[in-house]
Amino acid sequence: MIAVIKKELKGYFLSPIGYIFIGLFLIMMSLIFTSEILGYYKSNNFEYIFFSGATILTFVIPVITMRAFSEERKNGTEQLLMTSPLSLTRIVLAKFIAATIVVVITEICTLLYFAVLSYYSMPNITITLCTLLGFLLLAMSYISLGIFASSITENQIVAFILTVGLLIASWFLPEVNSIFDNFSLINIFSGFPYGQINIADTVTMISFTALCLILTIIVLQRRKSVQ
């Protein structure tokens, strides 16, 4: 499994994908940081940028997940992977972990803003850690959905659009009816930057991630008998 994680990470950083993801995300975060935190709020609330960050994440996560299975399928390399003694669960987990590592690297980069702020006055560390945790959980949910989308098509663009589409739909669901309040990942995340780690929210995000990964495994397993 470690071999697959290593290979996936290599794939991200030998191709432009990884740099595009981190670069794009950081450019947008920097703009928000300058205009909102330094310009508008003039505060040391590091966590504020992550409200907008969550929105940006919707558009950049699919960049790193769209290739996960669709490219393997298109190039036929899927055959190499599926005929190896690795189980489907491990293969799916490996791809998930690799993408999560890319997000973790990005989060570490955002500490730069924290450093800038702490030059003026110390931001609240507890809230910062809480926000980063929530952001990671949110990213994991998005990644798992992205990987699922990429498992059902061999076209990367389709996988990308499908992921973005579903994520945007999840923003607006609560506006249709309050029943859907708990379906909006972004709403669930919004508690974390206030320093609240809500068990229900945490469990929802983790189980959403698990659900998408299990669905991916089922899709891949099912394909063996129908393809």
Partner 1 sequence: MIKVENVTKKYGTFTAVDNISFKIEKGEIVGLLGANGAGKTTTMNMITGFIEQTDGKILIDDIDTLKRPKKTKRKIGYMPEGVPLYTDLTVKEFVTYMAEIKKVNRKEIKEKVEKVLKETGIEDVKNKLIKNLSRGYKQRVSLAGTLVNDPEILILDEPTVGLDPKQITEIRSLIKKFGQNHTVILSSHILSEVSQICDKVIIINKGKIIAVDTPKNLEERVSNDNSVYVTVEDKENKIDSIKDKIKNIKEVKLVEQNNDGTKKYMILGEKDKDLRKEIFEVFAKEDITIFEMKKADSTLEDAFMKLIEGGEK
Contact status: 93 vs partner 1 (CB under 8 A): no
Q: Which 8-state DSSP code applies to residue 48?
A: G
Considering the complex, state which of residue 92 and residue 140 has its C-beta at the smaller distance from partner 1.
Answer: 92
Question: Which position among 35, 77, 196, 207 is part of the footprint of partner 1 (CB under 8 A)?
Answer: 77
Q: What is the dihedral of CA 191, 195, 198, 204, to 10 degrees?
A: 50
Dist CA 174 CA 179 (whole Å):
7
Contact status: 195 vs partner 1 (CB under 8 A): no
The distance of closest approach from Cβ of residue 221 to partner 1 in the complex, given in angstroms and rounded to an integer, is 9
Considering the complex, state which of residue 76 and residue 178 has its C-beta at the smaller distance from partner 1.
Answer: 76
Contact status: 82 vs partner 1 (CB under 8 A): yes
The distance of closest approach from Cβ of residue 36 to partner 1 in the complex, given in angstroms and rounded to an integer, is 38
Contact 141, 209 (CB under 8 A): yes
Selection from 62, 55, 21 nearest residue 36 by Cα: 55
Considering the complex, state which of residue 9 and residue 173 has its C-beta at the smaller distance from partner 1.
Answer: 9
* Amino acid identity at 200: A
Contact 139, 64 (CB under 8 A): no
Dist CA 140 CA 213 (whole Å):
10
Question: Which position among 9, 38, 86, 105 is part of the footprint of partner 1 (CB under 8 A)?
Answer: 86
Contact status: 16 vs partner 1 (CB under 8 A): no
**How many chain residues interact with partner 1 (CB under 8 A)?**
25
Contact status: 227 vs partner 1 (CB under 8 A): yes
Question: Which position among 176, 179, 199, 226 is part of the footprint of partner 1 (CB under 8 A)?
Answer: 226
Contact status: 14 vs partner 1 (CB under 8 A): yes
Selection from 89, 211, 87, 58 nearest residue 144 by Cα: 211
Contact status: 19 vs partner 1 (CB under 8 A): no
Contact status: 84 vs partner 1 (CB under 8 A): yes
Contact status: 7 vs partner 1 (CB under 8 A): yes
Contact status: 42 vs partner 1 (CB under 8 A): no
Dist CA 10 CA 203 (whole Å):
31
Q: DSSP letters along 134-201, please?
A: HHHHHHHHHHHHHHHHHHS-S-HHHHHHHHHHHHHHHHHHHHH-GGGGGG-HHHHHTTGGGT---HHH
Where on the chain is the footprint of partner 1 (CB under 8 A)?
2-4, 7, 10-11, 14-15, 75-87, 224-227
